[in-house]
Chain A
Amino acid sequence: MLAKLFKGKGLRFYLEIGAGLIAIITSIIFFAMDRQLLGDNDSFQDISHFTLIFLIAGGLVAIADAFFPLPGLGIVSAVLFGCGIGNHLRLACYPLADINEEVPFFTKDVNLAHAAVRLFITFLVIFAILAIAIVISNFLSPKKKEA
């Protein structure tokens, strides 16, 4: 059954499956680390869960598109990844501003600001790579070319 699902699939399939799964896993890891780090910190606590939601949704849509390619589904996945990354980048701006200003206005703690920036930038790079994979997958056809 499982072998059947994967039979004759091309690069697009594996990009979407891979990016989708990694997005789901890494966004959960990010959210858990974010909560662990920032706790109930006040100024930007509310939007990291949107990153989680967008990336999980983007990942699920990418996986769905891999197995059941429908017109436009790949684009929807890309939009969701874009929203997730946009949200994530916005979130990252607060600790980045703290470091730039040398005043932890948002994070309340310089060390926390540095830790938050490390966390956000690390995951920003991961999410950006995943988004690029999704974009590439959209250039590809769902079916493997016949030899």
Chain B
Amino acid sequence: MAKSNIFKGIAAALLVVLPITVYMSALAYDREGDINRFLGITAGADANSGAYASSYSSREELNAAQSEFQIATLAEGSVLLRNENNALPLTKTKVTLFGNAAVYTNFHGGSGGPANAGVSLLDALTEQGFEVNRTVYDKISAAGSRAKNRDICEVDPSIYSAADIGNYKDAAIVVFSRYGGEENDLELEDDYGVPELTLHERERNTLEFVKAQGFEKVIVLLNTGYVMEAGWIEDYADAALWIAFPGSYGMKGVAQLLNGKQNPSGRLVDIYAEDIFSSPSTVNWGNFAFADLPNSNYHHEYLVYAENIYNGYKYYETRYADLVQGKHNAGSIKGMKASTTNWNYADEVVYPFGYGLSYASFTTSFDSLSWDKTAHKVEAKVTVTNTHASVSAKHSVPLYVSLPYIEGGLEKSAIQLIGYEKTGLLAPGASEQLTIQVDDYLFASYDENANNGADPTKKGCYVFDEGDYVFAIGEDSHEALNNVLAKQGVTGLYDQDGNPVGGDASKARIETLAARDTTSHAKSAVTGEVICNRFQDVDINHLIPNAVQYMTRADWNSYPSRVEGLKADDDASGYIRQHMTATSSVYKKPADAPEVSAYKHSQEVTMMFAEMAKVPYDDQKWDAFLDQLKPTQLSAICGEKMANDAIESVGYPANTSLDGPDGLQAGGTLFPSETLSAATYSKELLKQRGELLAEDALYIGIGMVYGGGCNLHRSPYSGRNFEYYSEDAIVSYYAGRAQGEAMTRKGLLGAFKHFLANDQETNRHGVATFMTEQALRENTARAFEGALTDGAALANMGSYNRIGVIPTSSSKALMTDVLRKEWGFKGISITDSSKDAASYIFTADAIEAGTTLFNNDGKRADECRDLLIKNRDGYIWGKVREQAKNFFYAYAHSNVMNHFANGETTVEVKVPWWKPAVISINAVLGGLALLSVAGYAVFMILEKRKGKEAK
């Protein structure tokens, strides 16, 4: 072989490989945050020293605490749906497991976070002394696989044989699962041709088989972060427990619930309907597109929250209240699914919101209630007594209110949760008096037509209408409502099974307001900012008159229909078309924008980041600190890469961010799903959840987690419901606040997401979301308000959808006027991964609106730099400085301050090892390729000369 050919061949080989490594290197740099996460590279400091030092001496000690916490969460969050003849706890130990999920349990939904793995049910039961039928277990192992989207993967029940059961007949434990997640709503018609949340044929056949085998007891476990249609439970199960996705160690808690070592005290955070699609919020859920906008990614879809404020239980209970009073056509056939002749609560509802049984039994007495209308506080005292002879247990007490409804006036739910507390462990016969304190802001109604009581030039504010406010306790929303109605003298009441009940008037208290109040909550109690209409463009009827009939309790015939075929051009102003079709920035530099020279930069460094730890938000030192940064340093901040680089000149250490909310990626512990945590109705456990997430973050080395999740369960089919707390904004409010405060206290920035109205995964990118301002404020936004108000959490993550037609991250009304001005939020607003939303979330627009960081999108820093340096835009410069301040302020209250544990103020800039490695590989390959090409050229010339000479 000629030498030139050898070099040519080597050059060809190298030049095939080189472009491949260059491509892969470019990809690695483009997604460097993901690469670092994959390789476990974080910017963490020592977990055991500094301002936010761990409370645990080692990761092992922390893991033990997390295990205990998860057992407690499962005990207090699992909901006992049925327990006929005290089927639970089990007193005998020889059990047979059935159902695919008994082996292939889902420990987590399909979303960012740790792997879907944990202690198995088999191991947990064995640890608790149960003897499990291994023959049947092994058959399921061989035939099954984990449930996934569209496919519940239930094993064919023909694998079960009566001969396999032997003497393992003390109990059959049947486990069913449903799985969904990010980008994966559950299917309205799955691979089996049925709605995914219904009982499937294979499951029913499994239950039929089990029923025929003569087990002493049949126990059903629902391993799902979603509501399932559950009317079948009473046909097949002696007892049923909803255990959601239990996390790494949660199955230990389940086993301890089954043998009675723990007592269930969870309450439902969602109502269970006989037919999920009877809920009005499910009607306008899914896929809707403007009829006259071109079909293009992210620019033509919409949703209308036509159910108005009546999400979840608020619909069923309010309609029931009107039904028993013969009002508002509540018995009409509109919206009827499970009822036979007329709409009937007992036919439509299986388990009310807040429902949950216990192995113990309790009495509650409503001792007192006071509403201090000056201090704006409601205080209820309730005594709980454990009346069971032998079981010690905890018990939560939810407090509800029924607001005065004025015919044809502002929409009001007939019953709504406003607060709750939980007892400690009550021994048999023991009592505890709980004090439930509620800020009355949480049940004020938003009236967009009111004249603002604080600023007569503005429209809209929270109001209290005149009339009777009936506060009530009850074991669930329906019982509380019946107590309200009993207090009001209404008769003809019945429970969710249709049994006549009288209600208990002693568990309700009336407070009367003589006159309408439009001043108490016309201004923010936190900041003093006037609260007024800010989302008129979010109500489609303000853009296209009479486009939609929102549901009103004034006439239940207004139960919504699908809002299809909306036309953007029916909006005469062109506002819808302009924003929906924009593919480049809508931002225009204001005429009165300041000169860039108004801002100092690149000043001599006299103040290091380490010194900013205790500097108050409004202190002018922040301006002086920012003056030290170069424009490129300032602009670089917004281009978050699941990390921010160190800034050596001012001593800012690097930080790393990871996805959550049910645990941290890159080695974190998997926590029980958020919805289960909320179902504990225990602020203490939610606080512990926040603390333990923060502890995990210390050991993994991250400063910010993208979680918790506060979106509402608008439909049970929404794929991420498991990582959002509830259908109810108040449950989310308290849960988010307890968890957020705890995370902040321990130095973890919890970016509560997805702010806001990302209540489905279908079309989540760019979908225009329309609703009334009342629904937005009382439901959608309220769910986030606890976590984000006045220093609870110091971060939030935006959503991909639009609020109205404006992307949420670009909505000044949302990101600045409400979030920062009304709620007093101080910290970071980060977009969802904006690289994938560049066609509608524009850099300048989002920065102007109040966005701080662009998630996993380093290119935004370049765009920001161009706005500052090329465009010399003084207005944006000012906004970028504001956001840089928010960034530094938040991280000054985070565990990155542990870098300065020993009093140093400087930082070392560390480059991840893979970066020089990939550059070196490319350089070496490139060098060798050049040498080979040169060798080829040289030898080719020499061989030609030789050939000529030979001739």
Report the minimum CB–CB distance from A69 to chain B (whole Å): 11
Most buried by A among B8, B112, B297, B937: B8
Q: Provide the bound-state CA to CA distance between A85 and B5, in Å.
A: 24
* Interface membership of A146, Cβ < 8 A: no
Cβ of B303 within 8 Å of any chain A Cβ, yes or no, is: no
Number of chain A residues close to chain B: CB under 8 A: 39
| A138 interface neighbour in B11, B19, B21, B836, Cβ under 8 Å | B11
Contacts of B16 in A (CB 8 A): 78-79, 81-82, 85, 131, 134-135
Question: Does B212 touch A at the CB level, under 8 Å?
Answer: no
| Residue pair B297, A86 in contact (C-beta under 8 Å) | no
Residues of B within 8 A of A104 (CB): 182-184
- Specify which of A40, A89, A106, A134 is in contact with B24 (CB 8 Å cutoff): A89
1/0 per residue B830-851: CB within 8 Å of A? Answer: 0001001000000000000000
| A42 B11 Cβ-Cβ under 8 A | no
Interface residues of B in 14-30 (CB under 8 A from A): 15-24, 26-27
**Which residues of A lie under 8 Å from residue B12 when comparing CB positions?**
74-75, 77-78, 134-135, 138-139
Instruction: Give A28 to B795 CA distance when docked, in angstroms.
Output: 47
In the bound complex, CA of A42 to CA of B765 (Å): 10
Q: Does A122 contact B (CB under 8 A)?
A: no
Select one of B24, B182, B765, B940 contacting A86, CB under 8 A: B24
Bound together, the chains give a CA A115 to CA B20 distance in angstroms of 23
User: Are A103 and B183 touching (Cβ within 8 A)?
Assistant: yes
Q: Does B933 contact A (CB under 8 A)?
A: yes
CA distance A140 to B8 in the complex (A): 9
For residue B631, give the distance in angstroms from its CB to the closest CB of chain A: 31
Shortest CB-to-CB span from A140 to chain B, Å, is: 7
A136 CA / B11 CA spacing, docked (Å): 11
Q: Which of B1, B5, B15 contacts A78 (CB 8 A)?
A: B15
Q: Is the CB of A86 within 8 A of B150?
A: no
Q: Mark B98-116, 1 if CB is under 8 A from A, else 0.
A: 0000000000001110001
Is A90 a contact partner of B24 (Cβ separation < 8 A)? yes
A74 to B184, CA, bound (A): 47
A118 at the interface (CB under 8 A from B): no
Candidate in A77, A102, A131, A136 with the most chain B CB atoms within 10 angstroms: A102
The answer on a CB contact under 8 Å between B9 and A139 is: yes
| A139 CB → nearest B CB, Å | 3
Docked pose: A87 CA to B23 CA in angstroms: 6
Given A104-B183, A110-B184, the answer on whether A79 and B19 have CB atoms closer than 8 Å is yes
Q: B110 to A74, Cβ gap below 8 A?
A: no
**Which chain A residues numbered 95 to 147 have a C-beta less than 8 Å away from chain B?**
97, 101-111, 131, 134-136, 138-141
Complex contact A139–B8 (CB within 8 A): yes
| Alpha-carbon distance between A111 and B187 when the two chains are bound, in angstroms | 13
Among A40, A105, A141: residue with most chain B CB under 10 A: A105
B68-112 residues at the A interface, CB under 8 angstroms: 110-112
- In the complex, residue of chain B having the shortest beta-carbon distance to the beta carbon of A50: B23
- Which residues of A lie under 8 Å from residue B593 when comparing CB positions? none
Task: Identify A43's interface contact among B8, B26, B836, B937, CB under 8 A.
Answer: B836
Q: Is A83 an interface residue (CB 8 A)?
A: yes
Confirm or deny: A29 has a beta carbon within 8 angstroms of a beta carbon on chain B.
no
A42: chain B residues at CB < 8 Å are 297-298, 765, 836
Assembled-state Cα–Cα distance A135/B9 (Å)? 6
* Interface residue from A40, A103, A135 paired with B13 (Cβ < 8 Å): A135
- Number of inter-chain CB pairs below 8 Å: 112
Closest to B182 in A: A103
Instruction: Give Cα distance in the complex from A85 to B933, angstroms.
Output: 21
Checking B18, B26, B181, B833 against A82 with a beta-carbon cut-off of 8 angstroms, the contacting residue is B18
Q: Known: A87-B23, A139-B1, A139-B9. Contact between A97 and B181, CB under 8 A? A: no
Interface residue B950 (Cβ < 8 Å from any Cβ of A) = no
Expressed in whole angstroms, the minimum distance between the Cβ of A113 and any Cβ of chain B is: 10
Give the residues in chain B near A111, CB-CB below 8 Å.
149-150
- With A75-B8, A105-B182 as given contacts, are A82 and B17 in contact (CB-CB < 8 Å)? yes
Q: How far is the CA of A40 from the CA of B299 in the complex (A)?
A: 13
Provide the B175-214 mask, 1 if CB < 8 A to any CB of A, else 0. Answer: 0000001111000000000000000000000000000000
Task: Check if B5 sits within 8 Å of A141, measured CB to CB.
Answer: yes
- Asked if B297 and A40 make an inter-chain contact with CB atoms under 8 angstroms apart, the answer reads yes
A10 to chain B, nearest CB (A): 12
CB of B162 closer than 8 Å to a CB of A: no
Determine if B684 is an interface residue (Cβ-Cβ < 8 Å). Answer: no
Instruction: State whether B112 touches A103 (Cβ < 8 A).
Output: yes
Residues of chain A contacted by B150 (CB below 8 angstroms): 111
Question: What CA separation (Å) do A43 and B836 show in the bound complex?
Answer: 6
Nearest CB in chain B: distance from A133 CB, A? 11
Complex Cα distance A43/B1, Å?
47
Which residues from B are CB-within-8-Å of A82?
15-20
- Taking the nearest CB of chain A, how far is it from the CB of B326, in angstroms? 48
Q: In the bound complex, do residue A83 and residue B19 qualify as a contact, i.e. CB atoms below 8 Å apart? A: yes
Chain A residues with CB under 8 A of B8: 74-75, 138-139
Do B765 and A102 touch across chains, with their CB atoms under 8 A apart? no
Q: How many Å from the CB of A4 to the closest CB on chain B?
A: 25
Contact indicator B2/A141 (Cβ below 8 Å): yes
A51 → B minimal CB distance (Å): 11
Chain B proximity of A91: nearest CB distance (Å): 9
- The interface centre, meaning the residue of A43, A101, A107 with most chain B CB atoms within 10 A of its CB, is A101
When the two chains form the complex, which single residue of A40, A71, A103 contacts B940, counting CB atoms closer than 8 Å? A71
Contact across chains for B27 and A93 when beta carbons are under 8 A apart? yes
The residue among B19, B22, B26, B181 with the most chain A CB atoms within 10 A of its own CB is B19
B238-268 contact mask (Cβ, 8 Å, vs A): 1 or 0: 0000000000000000000000000000000
B6 at the interface (CB under 8 A from A): yes
Q: Does B455 contact A (CB under 8 A)?
A: no
Beta-carbon nearest neighbor of A54 in chain B = B19
Indicate whether A108 sits within 8 Å of B183 (C-beta atoms), given known contacts A93-B27, A136-B9.
yes
Q: A40-B297, A82-B15, A141-B5 are in contact. Are A109 and B34 (CB under 8 A)?
A: no
Alpha-carbon gap, A75 to B298, bound state (A): 43
* Cα distance, A77 to B8, chains bound together (Å): 12
A74: chain B residues within 8 A (beta carbon): 8, 12
A134, A135, A140, A141 pick with most chain B CB within 10 angstroms: A135
B 531-545 binary contact with A (CB < 8 Å = 1; else 0):
000000000000000
Q: A78-B15, A89-B24 are in contact. Are A103 and B298 (CB under 8 A)?
A: no
Contact A75 B933 (CB under 8 A): yes
Residues of chain B within 8 A (CB-CB) of A81 are 16
Q: Give complex CA distance A2, B5 in Å.
A: 28
Give the distance in Å from the alpha carbon of A62 to the alpha carbon of B198 in the complex: 58
Taking a contact as CB atoms under 8 Å apart, the answer to whether A110 and B149 are in contact is yes
Chain B 805-846, CB-CB to A under 8 Å as 1, else 0, gives 000000000000000000000000000010010000000000
Looking at B13, B18, B22, B112, the one whose CB has the most chain A CB atoms below 10 A away is: B13
Q: What 9 new A-B contacts, CB under 8 Å, besides A93-B27, A135-B16?
A: A71-B937, A74-B12, A79-B15, A82-B15, A82-B19, A82-B20, A108-B183, A139-B12, A140-B9
Q: List 9 A-B contacts (CB under 8 A).
A: A42-B765, A102-B110, A103-B112, A109-B183, A110-B149, A111-B150, A138-B12, A140-B9, A141-B1
The 3 closest A-B pairs by CB, nearest first: A86-B23, A139-B9, A138-B12
